């Protein structure tokens, strides 16, 4: 099972909005609404930011939002803050025997 | 407060074995599916294995199938990963991750990770 495709890096200035894409296939992203997004700061464990495409766990700021169109999911962060600088990973449930797959990760730099 | 604490990592020679443990607290462990996810140094996340709440259903990534065995002891609130025939490419931080209820492959809590280094 190939990893979902994410851009290697994105950047934005404080206060701006950025979007990270996550492209899969009809067997994963396009076929199910079980797309999640994780934030990972250096040396730390990943943190769930979005689940089921667009749902935020308790405690996650509403500056973080998710969406999906066809085989591509997106994470949008509005009002960028310095602490948003981190690696972001998407994941999706898949119909294959491997159960699920992660994206390759996107490094967000806040300029 | 939900806590997941991994242990058992370390340095092992190629072909060797290691058993990882994950001690869970702060939630009803026996009610939730659990997973192992790993991250090689400087690389992305890679799902390793899944076990259902009862332990009756198990999945593995192709890269570890036949070499790794996931198990759980609900009485001890513990998750395990037995790793045999280890290879250099298994070097990674291994995380245990709790699955969000009724949301497959969505992980709401992660441990701090335990580093496994396979090297001679």
What lies within 8 Å, CB to CB, of A43 at 6+ separation is none
| Pairing relationship of beta strands A64-69 and B107-110 according to DSSP bridges | unpaired
Q: Which pLDDT value is given to residue A98? A: 80
Note whether B66 contacts A: Cβ–Cβ < 8 A.
Answer: no
Residue A2 pLDDT more than 70?
A: no
Band of the pLDDT at A3, cuts 50, 70, 90? Answer: confident
Mean pLDDT for chain A overall: 95
A88: distance to nearest CA of chain B, Å?
A: 10
Average pLDDT rounded to a whole number, residues A73-99? 94
- % of chain B residues with pLDDT over 70: 100
Indicate whether A97 pLDDT > 80.
no
Closest CA of chain B from A80, distance in Å: 23
B37-89 tens-digit pLDDT: 999 999 999 999 999 999 999 999 999 999 999 999 999 999 999 999 999 99
DSSP β-ladder status, A106-110 and A86-93: antiparallel
Which contiguous run of DSSP H or E holds residue A39? Answer: strand A35-40
What is the SS3 assignment for B98? strand
pLDDT confidence tier of residue A1, bands split at 50, 70 and 90: low
Tell which residue, B86, B68, B72, has the closest CA to residue B4. B72
Test the B interface: residue of A100, A101, A102, A106 with most B CBs within 10 Å = A100
Tell me which of A74-78, B36-40, B50-54, B102-106 is least confident. B102-106
pLDDT above 60 for B117: yes
- Cα–Cα distance measured from residue B79 to residue B34, given in angstroms and rounded to the nearest whole number: 8
Cross-chain CB nearest to B105 (options A40, A100, A103): A100
Is there a contact between B98 and B6 (Cβ–Cβ < 8 Å)? Answer: no
pLDDT above 80 for B27: yes
Mean pLDDT over A47-64 rounds to 97
Q: Does B103 touch chain A (CB under 8 A)?
A: yes
Percent of chain B whose predicted confidence (pLDDT) is above 90: 98
């Amino acid at each position: 099972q190939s990893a979902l495709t994410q851009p290697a890096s994105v950047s934005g200035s404080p206060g701006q909005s950025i979007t990270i894409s996550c492209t899969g296939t009809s067997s994963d992203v396009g076929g199910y609404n079980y797309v999640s997004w994780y934030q990972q700061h250096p040396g730390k464990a990943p943190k769930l930011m979005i689940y089921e495409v667009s749902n935020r766990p308790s405690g996650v700021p509403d500056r973080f939002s998710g969406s999906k169109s066809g085989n591509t999911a997106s994470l949008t962060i509005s009002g960028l803050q310095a602490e948003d600088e981190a690696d972001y990973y998407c994941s999706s449930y898949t119909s294959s025997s491997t159960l699920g797959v992660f994206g390759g990760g996107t490094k967000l730099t806040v300029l | 407060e939900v806590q997941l604490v991994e242990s058992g990592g370390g340095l092992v020679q190629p072909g060797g074995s290691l058993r990882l443990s994950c001690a869970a607290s702060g939630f009803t462990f026996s009610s939730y599916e659990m997973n192992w996810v790993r991250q090689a140094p400087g690389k992305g996340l890679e799902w390793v294995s899944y076990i259902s709440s009862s332990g009756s259903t198990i999945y593995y990534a192709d890269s570890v199938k036949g070499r790794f065995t996931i198990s759980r002891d609900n009485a001890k609130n513990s998750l395990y990963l037995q790793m045999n025939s280890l290879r250099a490419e298994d070097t990674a931080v291994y995380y245990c991750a709790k699955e969000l209820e009724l949301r497959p492959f969505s992980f709401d809590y992660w441990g701090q990770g335990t580093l496994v280094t396979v090297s001679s």
